[in-house]
Amino acid sequence: MKFTCLSKGSGFHFPPCHMLNFCGIRILFDCPLDLSGLMAFSPIPTSLDALLFEESNNNEKRHKIEDLLDAKSLIFAEPWYKTVNNLHLWNASLIDVILISSPMGIMGLPFLTRRKGLSAKIYVTEASARLGQLMMEDLVSMHAEFRQFYGPEESNFPPWLRQEELEILPSVLKDILLGKDGVESGGWTPMYSAADVKDCILKIDTVNYAQEVCYNGTLVIKAFSCGVEIGSCNWILDGPKGDIAYLSSSCFFSAHTMTFDYRSLQGTSSLIYSDFSSLSDAQDIEDGDNNSDPTSDTLLPLSFQDMDESSLNSDENLEEKEKLVFICSCAIECVKDGGSVLIPINRLGTILQLLEEMTTSLEASAMEVPIYIISSVAEELLALLNIIPEWLCKQRQERLFAGEPLFAHVKLQKEKKIHVVPNIHSHQLLMNWQEPCIVFCPHWSLRIGPVVHLLRRWCGDPKSLLILEDIVNPELALLPFKPVAMKVLQCLFPSGIGLQKVQPLLKTLQPKTVMFPEDLRLKTSFSCEKSFSVSYYTEAEPLKVSCQKDSSELKIAADLASQFYWKTFKKEGINVTRLKGNLLMENGRHHLLLDNNKKTSESNSSLVRCGLADYNKLLPALSEMGINASIEIVKDDVESQNVCLVHTKEPYKALIEIGNTSTVITTADANVASILYKAIDNILDGV
């Protein structure tokens, strides 16, 4: 088994990407897109910006002004997109299976599916595929605005990727374009088209949670909910050589999607730990959540079974609820002052909860403020959310059983409390537009989508409020809109396994070997009493882990087994039999079934014989058959072995030469040979 981490990703929108060679099958986990790369580009320029842009272009000699970053230093061109660079080193046609663990992990898939020669089976949960499709369609439609503005691209190689252009870029942008090591420029590709997305979706095989799918008869693949986003999942791969669990970012609590089903991951022999979320959490100083609170300290030595499930979840639940309430109170405060609230958040769970919380708070404070949701796919997305109860958390499912809509937005839409429009200049929006208001719209990078136009409108208004997602560099995100007078609130929601929970979780899952990220090595110290071995992996370095079993399981049908003719070897108490049947590979297991085909049951002679041909036994055996024989012992000079010669005279004439490892029959008659052969066969241990 060989495991290579292609990218450890960053944050919720850019999940990790790995390659695994298991049972001779090459498996790619996820195909994400690093959309934070968009921040190197300028949003669609306004007429004023366009002037500046012209100016800077005319002003031929741009100088490298170290670290003096302003809106003009951004790239004014149709953006390209940053894929996982290391993935390009692989020949796509050699990938056998692609497993997509979340809607975010599908975003880069059209780049792969449009390549020639890709023949991999692609498994995605049905919900991830549908959400992912909507997200990709939205991205394509948002990108279309750029294409309209800049017109068709002139060359295949964009000028901004040229070495001399890169040289004069501020270091922040250079880091984005080339990566920290300066080698990632190969990962940039131009946007895919709507047709590519459609084509990609057609190539996908969708699965439900806990559905068994079998690749090539060899590998049984199952997805289990991980609680981060609707449809997101962890995987279990079960092959003839053992099983392996792939643990992506997982949440023990969720207010919208089905929660982390860790019980189903129990007992696999290996486990790939691929939750990097605690990496970014811990780096963030503002986030005080990781300061270990007394309750979590006491949890450490326990395994999950010992704990009350509700106590485990309630902490996170409460924390998240508090944050939501806080955000909503800020928003209400803001609209009371006459400012508008702009929420460019793309995390579905956060949007849905904010929407519900926001409307109840508005109602409570008796305010009539319109809420707009602006996105080309919003209407379809909201409709979709209400028909997928199987993918949602317990509380939402209870609503189904009670006959209520799964999410409050259905009712709110009917009551015209929220307005869902496809884009900023849609007729419906212009007719209803009213300020102050609360707007949910993409995209979190603040470079594409309706957010750009609304941010330009409100960024100078100190009464308005911008609620940002957990962005690594908010300074850079807001750069094109400077000076920003509006209030900015950045909110962080956990999207993975908290560091304190890693150890009790692994203890509960009881794998034998764990592949763990090197980056988290220092943050988690596995206690010495751990029951599993740990191998640490780093980005782009293959890690070899030995398979647990050196043989595979084979099942023999009982009706066949009853026909076996057993032979016992005296010395070692071993029973041996020859096998005859049809070998079949199904669901990762070998089966041997009864074969009724006469054709194959021809040869009856022994396969292998062993032991010594004892001449003391041979003589009586021969005489029983009426053959007289005499013995002559000769010393072989060359091999210094004793060779025994048996001469038979009556009724046949033959010479049998018996050595330690071989016996030779010499005779003129083939019939005689076969008779003697049988006699010798009988005294040897044959199978």
For binding to other proteins (CB under 8 A), which residues are involved? 207-212, 222, 240, 264, 379-380, 383-384, 386-390, 397, 400-401, 403, 405-406, 550-558, 561, 564, 566, 569, 572-579, 583, 590-591, 600, 607-613, 660-663, 665, 677, 680-681, 684-685, 687
What is the distance between the alpha carbons of residues 443 and 77, in angstroms, rounded to a whole number?
Answer: 18
CB of 669 to other proteins, least distance (A): 17
Query: Closest CB to other proteins among 672 and 684?
Result: 684
Nearest Cα neighbor of 145 from 443, 378, 429 is 443
Query: Closest CB to other proteins among 234 and 340?
Result: 234
CB of 151 to other proteins, least distance (A): 33
Beta-carbon neighbour count of residue 423 at 10 Å? 17
Query: Closest CB to other proteins among 46 and 211?
Result: 211
CB of 253 to other proteins, least distance (A): 20
What is the distance between the alpha carbons of residues 577 and 607, in angstroms, rounded to a whole number?
Answer: 11
What is the distance between the alpha carbons of residues 2 and 139, in angstroms, rounded to a whole number?
Answer: 34
Contact 36, 444 (CB under 8 A): no
Q: What are phi and psi of 517, to 5 degrees?
A: -65, 135
CB of 379 to other proteins, least distance (A): 7
CB of 656 to other proteins, least distance (A): 10
- Helix (H) or strand (E) run with residue 191 in it: none
Secondary structure class of 234 (helix, strand, coil): strand
What is the distance between the alpha carbons of residues 176 and 213, in angstroms, rounded to a whole number?
Answer: 39
- Helix (H) or strand (E) run with residue 206 in it: strand 204-207
What is the distance between the alpha carbons of residues 177 and 283, in angstroms, rounded to a whole number?
Answer: 22
Residue type, 334: C
Query: Closest CB to other proteins among 302 and 612?
Result: 612
Residue pointed to by tokens 């450890």:
8
Structure tokens at 492: 């962080």
Query: Closest CB to other proteins among 319 and 685?
Result: 685
Query: Closest CB to other proteins among 118 and 213?
Result: 213
Q: What is the DSSP letter of 41?
A: B
Query: Closest CB to other proteins among 172 and 557?
Result: 557
Structure tokens at 537: 């992996």
Query: Closest CB to other proteins among 62 and 263?
Result: 263
Q: What are phi and psi of 371, to 5 degrees?
A: -115, 125
CB of 142 to other proteins, least distance (A): 19
Contacts of 337 by beta carbon, 8 Å cutoff, 6+ apart: 463
CB of 454 to other proteins, least distance (A): 25
CB of 383 to other proteins, least distance (A): 4
Helical segments of 365-510, H only: 378-385, 394-401, 409-414, 427-432, 450-458, 474-477, 499-509
Nearest Cα neighbor of 365 from 332, 390, 343 is 332
What is the distance between the alpha carbons of residues 219 and 55, in angstroms, rounded to a whole number?
Answer: 60
Q: What are phi and psi of 306, to 5 degrees?
A: -75, -15
CB of 207 to other proteins, least distance (A): 8
Beta-carbon neighbour count of residue 158 at 10 Å? 17
CB of 9 to other proteins, least distance (A): 29
Helical pair 194-202 and 126-150, crossing angle rounded to 10 deg = 160
Query: Closest CB to other proteins among 115 and 555?
Result: 555
Query: Closest CB to other proteins among 84 and 219?
Result: 219
Query: Closest CB to other proteins among 382 and 499?
Result: 382
CB of 390 to other proteins, least distance (A): 5
CB of 509 to other proteins, least distance (A): 15
Query: Closest CB to other proteins among 165 and 657?
Result: 657
